[in-house]
Chain A
Amino acid sequence: AENEQPWGTPCTQLLVFVATPGCDGFPSLDSKEGYKLSVSEGSLLLSADAVWGALRGLETFSQLVGRDENGTYYINKTEIVDFPRFPHRGLLLDTSRHYLPLRAILETLDVMAYNKFNVFHWHIVDDPSFPYESLTFPELSKQGAFNAMTHVYTASDVQTVIEYARLRGIRVIAEFDTPGHTLSWGPGAPGLLTPCYLGKDPSGTYGPINPILNSTYQFVTSLFQEVSSVFPDFFLHLGGDEVDFTCWKSNPKIRAFMKEMGFGEDYKKLESFYIQRLLDVISSLGKGYIVWQEVFDNGVKVRPDTIIHVWKNSMPYPQEMANVTKAGYRALLSAPWYLNHISYGQDWMAAYQVEPLKFEGVPEQKDRVIGGEACMWGEYVDATNLAPRLW
């Protein structure tokens, strides 16, 4: 009985076969993540078109390996053919509301790999702080970070994240959200933000990026030149959400500009004016872009290959998904997946039961839904509670 081998032939090797080279490249929206796993007596074979599929297959293989009461590792005879339903499966982390030390980001990337996520949407700066150390504009983080010595991401940190992610088949899509959500940019870039007015005098507070100055577009061009070269992914997330028009409305120079341009009282036109110029800059840098849904909702003229990120629940999001895809744009869904909105009990079920394609539309529209993202906004999240809140 002791010599009995209840587990059949011992398996000594998992052979990994990848059809197309690409070990040194970066994953992209078009990356092939399909794989086949074949486990039988004397043969363990993982085959994939690309290395990205091999990574997914390795994760699955590791999940199949079990251990019995005697401590023996075993695996059942298995055949798996696998590929993702959606090519963009992302996670958003917010490192502006609270700084997240590098370790927390890397740990998150590990867990993303366990769950076959393939996009890290890095909402890196926002109103409360600017932790991104810019080569071109070092003052941005010097003045805008919570602490310029300790609460920053150096160029080396950023490269570490990008490479750590790449090794796990995860794309890093940076979001530099403008023109709103930019208060922290102000101290390091005087003149960038719109000075708000109280009657005839500046109130001392600032609003969104000032869309009427040439200096704004020079700044934005230079900054995004740097960002485009630092982040290798084809896409950049440009934000464009929640632009509060109050400050613009209060500023006499802006009002004058509105008149000059014939925008009337429609500040959405001014917002579009800015966004359009920004998008042109990004295009000229050879990048594609993702924007929050307001950019689409406010009628900004965007390139056909723009990806619209649906996040609001004010209109039922399926309606928005229908509108976006009907207009011919690709869509990303986040609205039902704001994981920072915690509640008591097994709320994972509500997230699980979301059917992204449940909206009115023809098959071509449904094809334009490229995936979605779980968002962990940082108002109440830092390294002390990120992991148990997210996973």
Chain B
Amino acid sequence: SRRAMGRAMGLAGVLVGLFLVPAVLVSTSLRHGAPRAEPAPEPAERELASGAVPEDSLWPLPQWLRTSRRQLQLAPARFQLVHGAGSSAGPACGLLQDAFRRYYEYMFGQSRRRRGRRPLGARADPELSQLQVVIESRDPGCHSYPHLASNEAYHLTVTEPVAVLKANEVWGALRGLETFSQLVHEDDYGSFLVNESEIDDFPRFAHRGILLDTSRHYLPLKSILTNLDAMAFNKFNVLHWHIVDDQSFPYQSIYFPELSDKGAYSYNHIYTPTDIRLVIEYARLRGIRVIPEFDTPGHTQSWGKGQKGLLTPCYSGEQPTGSFGPVNPILNTTYNFMTKFFKEISSVFPDAYIHLGGDEVNFDCWKSNPEVKEFMKKQGFGIDYAKLESYYIQKILNIVSSYDKGYIVWQEVFDNKAQLKPETVVQVWMENNYAHELSSVTGAGFTAILAAPWYLDYISYGQDWKKYYSVEPLNFPGSEKQKKLLIGGEACLWGEFVDATNLTPRLWPRASAVGERLWSSWNVTNLQDAYKRLTNHRCRML
């Protein structure tokens, strides 16, 4: 298992019976070249499934990979992950130093041979003594945050005596380290081996996210961090943190402490500024962006507990009912609050984007409120409450823009014709005819993220990972230019029926299917091959 104890044990378990003794019959095999090379036909002497080949446990599958049957040995006591000559990053690069230690632990953590005793029956294969990591760009990015345009490409050459991992930026190095660790395997005698190989890899989509919902159920820090680890195993690079919603407000605000004081499930169910910083840094070290979502004007019941006057009071005839609806869009106090609140959010969360929600706004309460009705009249909105919603959203978007943040919104904001800045990212989540929605969104010139087919909270019996794997995000009518506007997607795990007792087995390895779909080439679609690799990958992740 990777988590606490490194991966050697898990690998050994998987590989017993699977891996070959030295006479591996994998000839030089070319795999899945997207732009670079054409896939070669399977060599005739290729072993059947029972004869494992190194790429049998790569996930997601790299864009281009060539392996040979020549194997190199690694000695845990001597093998090192180091900075290579010419790298713009060195020992001062904390991010890489941390990654080196982490990946060493994943590969050799379970091994008792870290203290250098030669095992009996040691192989005669040449030894791979190092993996050198070379960052090529002048600014490696060690101390910065990952962003949408980060370069995650890498080139890995595994050959004796030293393997080389080249990447433009540290983000690519992180991806390459993960892949390298997936190539290292144990034979039946417990020796660590890696096949001579060359890999050229980069993600198909730049935005590959997981949505976690910490409002319907609080998620303790540990489960969020464990999830970030799992994301890194699968090359996910965005944590979409749907942090507050109707049910609870666990985000401890500096300017408005009452929000969590009154809105969280309890004092034990909050995220302090320290917690937030921890998540952001833990994510950064794994090349994962943290995009918070503060969803308004709907989904805000819990905000009203600590911020009186924020939500719209609902009416029955002339009398307030005592219940509240969405954020009240007609009051100046609302926008004063939001201005101050988003100032805080913009400084607490370093990512260039904030998700502003905007989904599922129920108009009933607004319609019942006489002051709101009055406002509608004054503004000339008639009875079209979508216009009121847009009025609100536009003001929020302007507030957030003024803090130099970009924003992501759920599709309703686009559907209801709010005026959006051209750089707005629209997240498509409604399953019904989502391809059509993607056409509309990209046709209007907006960037899109796809979540609709990947609501993983919708569990069902059997191998539903296949359904997620088979989605082709670019299967929508549109020009080349439009297709370029789809920057990626997200697997969503809404929290109505999820908490720390079941999050990990519910999300993984199903989300892995989405991970490969978003990283690997469009033509990596074979379910049998995927099954083989995914079963190995899953055991490794444990």
If A384-B505, A388-B502 touch, does A344 touch B16 (CB 8 Å cutoff)? no
Which residues of the other chain, B, contact A388 by a CB distance below 8 angstroms? 501-502, 505-506
Question: Counting CB contacts under 8 A, is A385 at the interface?
Answer: yes
Bound form: Cα–Cα A343–B459 in Å:
5
Which residues does chain B contribute within 8 Å of A221, judged by CB atoms?
none
As a 0/1 sequence over residues 378 to 391 of chain A, the CB contacts with chain B under 8 angstroms (1 = contact) are 00100011011100
Contact of A385 among B13, B457, B458, B505 (CB under 8 A): B505
Question: Which residues in A have their C-beta under 8 angstroms from that of B526?
Answer: none
Shortest A23–chain B CB gap in Å is 35
A343 touches B460 (CB 8 A): yes
B461: chain A residues within 8 A (beta carbon) = 340-343, 380
Chain A residues 310 to 348 lying within 8 A of chain B, measured CB to CB, are: 340-346
CA distance A389 to B497 in the complex (A): 12
Known A344-B457, A344-B460, A384-B542; contact A147-B505, beta-carbon cutoff 8 A: no
- Residue from the list A147, A341, A346, A385 in contact with B16, Cβ < 8 A: A147
Q: Is A344 in contact with B505, judged by CB distance below 8 angstroms?
A: no
CB-nearest residue of chain B relative to A344?
A: B458
Instruction: List residues of chain B with CB within 8 A of the CB of A341.
Output: 461
What's the Cα separation between A340 and B502 when bound, in Å?
15
- What are the interface flags for B494-509 relative to A under an 8 Å C-beta threshold, 1 for contact and 0 otherwise? 0001000110111000
Identity of the chain B residue whose Cβ is nearest the Cβ of A388 in the assembled complex: B502
Most chain B CB within a 10 A radius of its CB, from A340, A344, A388 = A388
- Interface SS of A by simple majority: loop
Q: Is B462 an interface residue, CB under 8 A from the partner?
A: yes
* Cβ-neighbour of B462 out of A344, A345, A346, A380 (below 8 A): A380
The closest CB in chain B to the CB of A343 belongs to B460
CA distance A388 to B460 in the complex (A): 15
The residues of B that contact A385 with a CB separation of less than 8 Å are 502, 505-506
The interface size of chain B toward A, counting residues with CB under 8 Å, comes to 16
B286 to chain A, nearest CB (A): 22
Q: How far is the CB of A144 from chain B (nearest CB, A)?
A: 14
In the assembled complex, the Cα of A342 lies from the Cα of B457 at a distance in Å of 12
- Bound together, the chains give a CA A342 to CA B501 distance in angstroms of 16
Q: What range describes how many residues of A lie at the interface?
A: 10 to 19
CB neighbours of A342 from chain B (8 A): 459-461
Are A344 and B459 within 8 A (Cβ)? yes
CB A114 to nearest CB in B, in angstroms, measures 15
Residues 294-337 of B, flagged 1 when their CB comes within 8 A of A and 0 if not, give 00000000000000000000000000000000000000000000
- Closest Cβ of chain A to B66, distance in Å, is 33
B414-459 residues at the A interface, CB under 8 angstroms:
457-459
- Interface code A18-56, partner B: CB below 8 Å = 1, 0 otherwise? 000000000000000000000000000000000000000
Which of chain B's residues have a CB closer than 8 A to the CB of A346? Answer: 497
**8 Å CB contacts to B: which residues of A194-217?**
none
> How far, in angstroms, from A380 to B509 measured CA to CA in the complex?
12
Residues in chain A near residue B463, CB distance under 8 A: 380
Interface residues of B in 463-478 (CB under 8 A from A): 463
Contacts of A345 in B (CB 8 A): 497
Q: How far is the CB of B498 from chain A (nearest CB, A)?
A: 9
Can you list, as one digit per residue, whether each of A360-391 has a CB less than 8 Å from chain B (1) or not (0)?
A: 00000000000000000000100011011100
By a CB distance below 8 angstroms, the chain B residues around A380 are 461-463
Q: Which residues in A have their C-beta under 8 angstroms from that of B13?
A: 147, 150
- Measured CA separation A384–B541 after assembly (Å): 12
User: Please, what's the 1-or-0 string for B105-138, where 1 marks a CB less than 8 Å from any CB in chain A?
Assistant: 0000000000000000000000000000000000
Which A residue's beta carbon lies closest to that of B17? A147
Closest residue of chain B to A386, judged by CB?
B505
- Chain A residues within 8 Å of B501, by CB: 387-388
Alpha-carbon distance between A150 and B13 when the two chains are bound, in angstroms:
10
**Distance between A202 CB and nearest chain B CB, rounded to angstroms:** 22
A344 to B458, alpha carbons, bound, how many Å? Answer: 5
A131-148 CB mask vs B (1 if < 8 Å, else 0) is: 000000000000000010
Interface code B208-228, partner A: CB below 8 Å = 1, 0 otherwise? Answer: 000000000000000000000
Query: Chain A contacts of B458 at CB under 8 A?
Result: 344
A-B contact pairs, 27 of them (CB 8 A): A147-B13, A147-B16, A150-B13, A342-B459, A342-B461, A343-B460, A343-B461, A344-B457, A344-B460, A344-B497, A345-B497, A346-B497, A380-B461, A380-B462, A380-B463, A384-B504, A384-B505, A384-B542, A385-B502, A385-B505, A387-B501, A388-B501, A388-B502, A388-B505, A388-B506, A389-B502, A389-B505
Residues of A within 8 A of B (CB): 147, 150, 340-346, 380, 384-385, 387-389
Which 5 residue pairs are nearest across A and B when measured between Cβ atoms? A388-B502, A385-B505, A341-B461, A344-B458, A388-B501
Known contacts A342-B460, A384-B505; 5 further A-B pairs (Cβ under 8 A):
A341-B461, A343-B461, A344-B460, A380-B461, A388-B506
